[in-house]
Structure formats: C-alpha cells, structure tokens
Structure 1
C-alpha cells in the first residue's frame, strides 16, 4: 500500500492531478480546500472517498481510492489543529495531521490525550517541526513527541530508511519562500519499523512550482 503526505500550499483542486500521477492508495493533504464546497466536477470525482477538517476553505484531508474503506474514528480534538483519525479497511488506523495552530505543542497534547489508542496506527503529515527547534517549546517539543512514539513502537520512516538522526536530515521536505537555500525537514511518517518498505521525498525541481513542500511517499507492507 502506498500513502502520500503533501502540503499542497492551497488550491488543491488545481494540483491534485500532479500528485495523482504517483498512484497512491491514500493521500494526506494539508492546506487544501473542502471538496464539499468546490464547483469543480473533476475534483469532486477525485474526492469521491475522503474526510476533511478545517476552517472556512483551508484544512486537512485524507483521500482514498474507492476500493478502500475509510472510517472516521471520531477522536475528539478539543480545538487542536488539525487532526483526522480513521480506520483503513478495518485493518489499521491512520492519523493524518497538519501542525497549523499551536504547531508541535498541539500535536504533543493530542497524542497525550489519545495515547492509549496509538496502537496498530500509521501517523503522517506536516508536523511543522524539527528537533532543532526544541528550545522554543519547553516540554512540548518535537523530541518529546518522537520519544513518546518510539515508546509505542512507532518510528520516523524517513530516519529508518536513511539511517539519519533527528535534526540532522540530509533531505528537506520544505523550502521557505520556495528558496532552495532555506530548507527544512518538517514532514514525517511514523510507523512500526517492520512494516516499512520504502520512503521517498519528491524532488525540488519537480514540485516547487506547485508548493513549498515536497510530497513524502511511503510504501508499507499492509495490503489493501
């Protein structure tokens, strides 16, 4: 199964065909409009199986192929931004997120609230965080989240594949102001290490005209 996370930088209805070419089973898309509000018939066709949360017309969505069962878990968010938890094919849970409000601090709190539910789960999205910024957040830090998930047997798929340490990533996922020299690694997947097949990050020249984020492409061993 292939799962992709991508912050599309808005106007997803004009960009979904590019990411669709990667032939993913599931897409976690940040900063996208609500498909229920669009007048674009082709976008509605693409978004035939989805969940969306957000404010006005900018939010977080999980899109899946029509052959996939996508069931909202209904986990409460208590005003934290933005999270979607769902069950895939009655086999495993998927938590998609966009660290948009309180950034890593919202993510830290959400994971604490739902810590007892974080089993047999894949977590992915735009965390808007990196351990290099830990000092800005006291206890609710990126490293605290990484350590909590590791304690549950969930590890950053990028760091497993690349054998790199948090905060010293060689492949960025985000380019501030779309500048190659202002690059950061802030998009992640966390999963059980034995279920990870491969992870790739989209190339700058292929995607920068569409977004300041690169898609993160994860192949896992869970079949459809």
Structure 2
C-alpha cells in the first residue's frame, strides 16, 4: 500500500491534482480545507472518501481511494488538535497528525494518552520537530517521542532505510521561507521495520512552488 504525507501549505483544492499524480492509496494532508464546505466540485470528487478535522479552511485530512475503507477510531483528544486515528480496511491502524500549536509537546502528550493503542500502528505527518530543537522543550522533546515509539517497535522509516541518526538527516522535508539554503527534516513516517518497502521524499524543484514542505511517500508491506 502506497501512502503519502504532505503539508500542502494551504489551498489544497488548487494543488491536489499534483499529489494525485503520485497515485497513492492514501493521502495524509496537513493544512488542507474541509471538502464538505468547499464550492470546488472537482475537489469534492477527489475527496469522495475522507476524514477531516480542523477549522474552516485549515485542517488535517486523510483521503483514500474509493475502494479503501476508512473507519474513524474516535480517539479522545482532550483539547489537543490535529490528530486523526483510523482503521484502514480492518487491516491496520493509521494515525495522521500535524504538529501545529504547541508542536512536539502536543504530540508527546497525545501519544502518552494513547500509548497502549499504538502498537502495530502507522504514524505519519508534519511533526514540525527535529532532535536539534530538544533543548527548547524540556522533557516533551522530539527525542522523547522517537524513543517512546521505538519502545513500541515503531521506527522512523527514513532513518531506518537511510541508516541515519536523528538530527543528522541529509534529505530535507521542509525549506524555511521556501529557501533552498534553509533545509530541515520535520516530516516523518513511523511503523514496524518489516512493513517498510521503500520511502521517498519529494525534490525541491518539483514541489517548492506548491509548498514549503516536500511530500514523503511510503510503500508499506501489509
């Protein structure tokens, strides 16, 4: 199964055709608008099978091909925002997230709340975090989240496939102010080792006119 996570940097109704060309089974999109409130009929057709959380034109969406069954797990968020947990085809669970607001600290708390449910799960999204910023967050750090997930058997797909250490990534997923000289790695997939077939990160020249984030694509073995 092919899954992409992408922070589209808004106005997804104008950009979905570009990501659709990747021909993925599931699209986890951060900073997208609610298909239920759009007047764009073509966007509605694309979003014929989806889950979405957010406010007006700003949210997190999981979009899937029509043959795929998405079931919202309805996990409590207790005031935390930008998380969607769902079951896919009754085969595996997917957690899509967008680290917005309190960033990694919100993600840390959310994962602590649902710790017992995370085993065998695929987690992906724009975490807006990297271990290089650990000192800014006391205990609720990027490294703490990574260690927690690794303890559950969930590993960063990029770091595992490329044999990289957290904080020493060579492939950026984000360019601050869309400048090539300001690269960061802040988007991730986490899952079990044996489920990773391949992982790909979009190229700057192909995507920078659409977003400051590059899409990150996982081909997962079910």
- Aligned partner of 2:28 in structure 1 is 28
- Aligned partner of 1:160 in structure 2 is 160
SS at match of 1:206: helix
- Within 5 A, what are the aligned runs for 1:59-70? 59-70=59-70
| Residues 78-134 of structure 1, C-alpha deviations (whole Å, 9 max, x = no match) | 111210000000011000000001100000000000000002210000000000000
SS at match of 1:209: coil
SS at match of 1:80: coil
SS at match of 1:3: strand
Normalised TM-score (structure 1): 0.98
SS at match of 1:53: strand
CA distance in 2 between partners of 1:71 and 1:102 (Å)? 27
| Residues 163-194 of structure 1, C-alpha deviations (whole Å, 9 max, x = no match) | 10000000000000000001100000000001
| Residues 32-86 of structure 1, C-alpha deviations (whole Å, 9 max, x = no match) | 0000010111100000000000122201000000000000000011111210000
SS at match of 1:6: strand
SS at match of 2:158: helix
CA contact (8 A) 2:70 2:89 kept: yes
SS at match of 1:36: helix
CA distance in 2 between partners of 1:37 and 1:162 (Å)? 41
CA distance in 2 between partners of 1:10 and 1:78 (Å)? 26
- Within 5 A, what are the aligned runs for 1:26-65? 26-65=26-65
- Gap regions ≥5 residues in structure 2: none
- Aligned partner of 1:180 in structure 2 is 180
- Pairwise CA RMSD: 0.5
- Aligned partner of 1:220 in structure 2 is 220
Equivalent pairs, count: 222
SS at match of 1:54: strand
SS at match of 1:198: strand
- Aligned partner of 2:83 in structure 1 is 83
- Aligned partner of 1:124 in structure 2 is 124
